[in-house]
Chain A
Amino acid sequence: MSVAAEPAVLSVRGIEKRYGERRALRDVSFDVRPGELVAVVGPNGAGKTTLLSILAGVQRPSAGSVSGPSARAQGGRAIGWAPQQPALYSKLTVAENLRLFARLEQVSDPQRAVERMLEHTGLTERARERVERLSGGNRQRVNVALGLLSDPQLLALDEPSSALDPRQRSRLWELLGALAGRRTSVLFSTHHLGEVRRYATRAIVLADGELLFDGPPAELLASARGSGDDLEGAFVAFLADRGH
């Protein structure tokens, strides 16, 4: 069975988010299927973080519905989430942060989950180091590790590679690729279109809260005129064609 034919693990229908008069999201609908790596791209202020935080259960939509695993209903375990800014306690060590959230997420064997995450993220040697002493890249790795603690069906990552160096980035994508291979769906926002082309199975383009494109990255490249093999150029041209 192809990925497209499988039932969706997450269905988003007609989501809107309003902050007073401002509409951060307008009638956004899409599905995510098991094992998909879905990139959410768009200019700053497009609504990427708002969308991911609604899926993660941090915010509620003003209208529309999200069906599938509910972050709130299962004590935050069904959807893993790594926010844009690492959400960690800086006075605690890496292992203490992981252990605390493993316990709060009621993971069956917290110690085992911590060891597994330390190993997956290459942080075993840093386990006893306080987060306040870690580099930005390593903090981001712990941040992603926290999202993976409960082995969720769907992982929502807000710009996960933004603070990582090329080697760490490569390691992150290796980890996410492995997760997708185990049929975990990954939804991530990014400004690195090279990563979208290389790793994403699908791209969602948002601008001013509107969903403008939903399909494979290659289709996005093809849809833009005269950009050759340059996805970034294609993306800019795509937005310009639609008045953004």
Chain B
Amino acid sequence: MRWLLAKDLLILRRSRLLVAVLVIYPVAIALLIGLAISRSPSKPRVAIVDETLPGQTVQVGSQRVEVSQYAEQLFSQIQPVAVATRSDAVAKVRQGDVLAAVVIPRDIAARLSSSIAPAQLEVIYNGNALEQSLVRSTLNSALAQANLGFSEQIQQAAAKAIDLLLEGGNLGLLGGPQNLIGLSQIPGALDAIIARQPHGHDRSELERIARFTNFAAQNLALSKQVIATASQPIRVRSTLLHGRRTPLNTFAVVVAVSVSLMFIAVLLAAGGVALEREEHALMRLVRGLVSSERLLLEKILLSAGCSFVVAFAMLAGVSAFVTLDWSRVGLWVAALAFGAAAFAALGVAIGALAREVRAASLLAFLLSLPLAFLALVPAGSLAAGVNDAIRAVSFVFPFKAALQALDAAVNGASPAIGSSLVHLAVLTLVFAALARVGLRRLD
């Protein structure tokens, strides 16, 4: 077997372009996938037409909230591009300079203050169905965040107005009433006056007023809590069922390394076995020189070894930029080794079925890429039947198990690494057995 291994290494050394493509392409794909996962979506460029007058405010009781605060809330969610008129905004959307445009109308303050007609924004967008969907979801999220922020401003203003009603004091407006009595102070003051009153009709009326002011003060105090609850009725508390929380960037590293491991092992193994057939050497080898089992083992060792080296180098290299726990390096090695072996076994099975290197490579690509994407589909995000089908496909191919093993090794994520390693070992044996059957089919 060592002579076959030496022969394959020599062939690889002489196929520099192939080796370069075999390493660079998967690493590039892996990095792209990793970047796509780890980077949060960038803020969309949105044109803003603010038709409100400077200093325009919304009246909340005795308090005022500047309408410009809404725009500020919105600006924090997007990349704002200020434009003067609606027609300028439409032109920018048409030219593709901005994803969409938002028009804040001149009467928004009046509508917010009146509470009779609802305040409205105009959103202008363009593009195909996919772009429209992206704009709707992105902008809806940004507007919801801005609305929430603005409603908190209004809620705070309302709370201040209620405090003033309850506790009294100065209105704070130039020329406004000073030293106002608060609603909560009235019952005490009234009780003192009532005590000095003789029994009779006037005293009974004063006692009724005192009871009402006491009741009103208690309920007004409650209304502050009601307003606070109404502005954000339900808050979210997250509970992670298993394992420890995995940072998105280290998970992205795990995905990128797993993708590289898969591509290199599968392509190399598939190509290696198919090359024996394409060069007609397989017939010469299997007539007693090398058993099929040894030949497959050699291909698995070679491709698993090469992919392991590249994947480990990637992991080590990435650790310069992302914090990885080097004390778990033993687990990394186990996860990478078992994953590489399973991918290589899948590769030899593909190579044994294909008659030539090009067909084997194409088949390996066609199979590997969807497997990676399927394994990344979050459970429960699709209809039950589709989810079950994806789960079944991910179970019978090694990508998901390798991803879970490496995630457990690098991040201590759930499920535990042991079950994933056993899964990978079983898949290695199954695919190697399939390759053994496929190899019997000689030209």
Contacts and interface: CB of A to CB of B under 8 A. Distances in A.
Interface of A: 53, 56-59, 71-77, 81, 83, 85-92, 96, 100-101, 103-105, 130, 146
Contacts of B288: 57, 71-77
Interface string B271-301: 0000000011101111111100000000000
Question: Dominant SS at the A interface?
Answer: loop
Nearest to A82: B284
A53 B283 contact: yes
Given A59-B442, A91-B14, A76 B283 contact: no
B426 interface: no
B442 to A, nearest CB: 6
Contacts of A130: 14
B280 A85 contact: yes
A105 B4 CA distance: 12
B11 A71 contact: no
B281 A71 contact: no
B17 to A, nearest CB: 12
A92 B289 contact: no
Given A76-B289, A89-B11, A96-B10, 4 more contacts: A58-B283, A81-B287, A92-B11, A104-B4
Interface of B: 3-4, 7, 10-11, 14-15, 279-281, 283-290, 442
Contacts of B285: 104
Contacts of B11: 89, 91-92
Contacts of A76: 284, 287-289
Contact of A86 (B280, B287, B289, B442): B280
Contacts of B4: 104
Contact of B3 (A73, A85, A104): A104
Contacts of A77: 288
Nearest to A103: B3
A74 to B, nearest CB: 7
Nearest to B14: A91
A87 B280 contact: yes
Contact of B279 (A89, A101, A146): A89
Nearest to A84: B280
Given A88-B279, A90-B279, A91-B11, A83 B284 contact: yes
Nearest to A76: B288
Sort A-B residue pairs by CB-CB distance and give the 10 closest, nearest first.
Answer: A72-B288, A76-B288, A87-B280, A57-B287, A104-B289, A87-B284, A91-B11, A76-B289, A103-B3, A91-B14
Contacts of A85: 280
Contacts of A73: 288
A77 B287 CA distance: 10
A53 B442 CA distance: 11
Q: Which of B3, B4, B284 has the most chain A CB atoms inside 10 A of its CB?
A: B284
Nearest to B284: A87
B284 A101 contact: yes
A105 B288 CA distance: 9
Contacts of A88: 279-281
B287 A100 contact: no
Contact of B287 (A58, A89, A91): A58
Contact of A92 (B7, B280, B442): B7
A100 B3 contact: yes
A56 B289 contact: no
23 contacts: A57-B287, A58-B287, A58-B442, A59-B442, A71-B288, A73-B288, A74-B288, A75-B288, A77-B288, A81-B287, A83-B283, A87-B279, A87-B281, A88-B279, A88-B281, A89-B7, A89-B11, A89-B279, A91-B11, A92-B7, A92-B10, A101-B284, A104-B285
Contacts of B279: 87-90
A217 B381 CA distance: 77
A238 B279 CA distance: 37
Nearest to B286: A58
B56 to A, nearest CB: 78
A87 B283 contact: yes
Contact of B15 (A71, A75, A91, A104): A91
B289 to A, nearest CB: 4
Nearest to B281: A87
A179 B279 CA distance: 27
Contacts of A53: 283
A104 B281 contact: no
A154 to B, nearest CB: 13
B6 to A, nearest CB: 8
A36 to B, nearest CB: 22
A72 B290 CA distance: 10
A66 B32 CA distance: 59
Nearest to A104: B289
Q: Which of A59, A91, A103 has the most chain B CB atoms inside 10 A of its CB?
A: A91
Q: Which of B279, B283, B287 has the most chain A CB atoms inside 10 A of its CB?
A: B287
B154 to A, nearest CB: 75
A133 to B, nearest CB: 12
Contacts of A91: 10-11, 14-15
A101 B7 CA distance: 11
A83 to B, nearest CB: 6
A74 B288 CA distance: 7
Contacts of B286: 58
Contacts of B3: 100, 103-104
B287 A56 contact: yes
Contacts of A75: 288-289
B200 to A, nearest CB: 119
A105 B280 contact: no
B281 A89 contact: yes
